[in-house]
């Protein structure tokens, strides 16, 4: 299968970096392919906000600065800046209550990317999810 672009949910990215055994098989496979330079993985800017909040609350040992350092070492990963298209798509997703999830789904839809997530509630809002 040809590599396609991905958008990665916050938990999937953190687990990939810190606890890869928590990932589903398919998620582990596509992120390993991305690590090897086969494909591109968009990290929505809102993910950095979520990491910051989790780090401040002591729920995550990696902060946004460390996350950016790790991503800088992997050219297949890129932080996707928030843009107007994502904001408009955000407005089309009132059924997703969590604003972080809503922005991540908006990013996947705008970039026509598969979404790497274990959150089955998000699957109905994107073309394809990757997990197991």
Name which residue leads in pLDDT, 73 or 1.
73
CA dist 125 to 20, 110, 129, Å?
Answer: 25, 12, 10
Q: What is the mean pLDDT of the chain?
A: 95
Tell whether the model's pLDDT for residue 75 goes beyond 80: yes
Name the pLDDT band for 2 (thresholds 50, 70, 90). Answer: very low
> What digits encode the pLDDT tens for the residues 97-118?
999 999 999 999 999 999 999 9
Q: In the predicted model, is pLDDT for residue 1 greater than 50?
A: no
Residues paired with 130 in a beta bridge: 116
pLDDT of residue 4: 79
Among the CATH numbers 3.30.70.360, 3.40.50.300, 3.40.50.150, 3.40.50.1010, which is that of 6-130?
A: 3.40.50.1010
Q: What share of the chain is helix, strand, coil (3-state, %, to 5)?
A: 55, 10, 35
């Amino acid at each position: 299968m040809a590599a396609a672009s991905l958008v990665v949910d916050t938990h999937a990215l953190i687990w990939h970096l810190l606890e890869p055994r928590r990932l589903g098989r398919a998620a582990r496979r596509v992120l390993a392919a991305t690590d090897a330079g086969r494909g591109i993985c968009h990290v929505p800017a809102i993910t950095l906000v979520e990491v910051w909040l989790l780090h401040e609350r002591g729920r995550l040992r990696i902060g946004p600065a460390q996350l950016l350092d790790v991503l800088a070492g992997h050219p297949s990963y890129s932080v996707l800046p928030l843009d107007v298209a994502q904001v408009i798509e955000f407005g089309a997703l009132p059924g997703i209550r969590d604003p972080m999830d809503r922005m991540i789904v908006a990013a996947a839809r705008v970039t026509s990317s598969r979404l790497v997530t274990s959150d089955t509630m998000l699957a109905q809002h994107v073309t394809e999810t990757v997990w197991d």
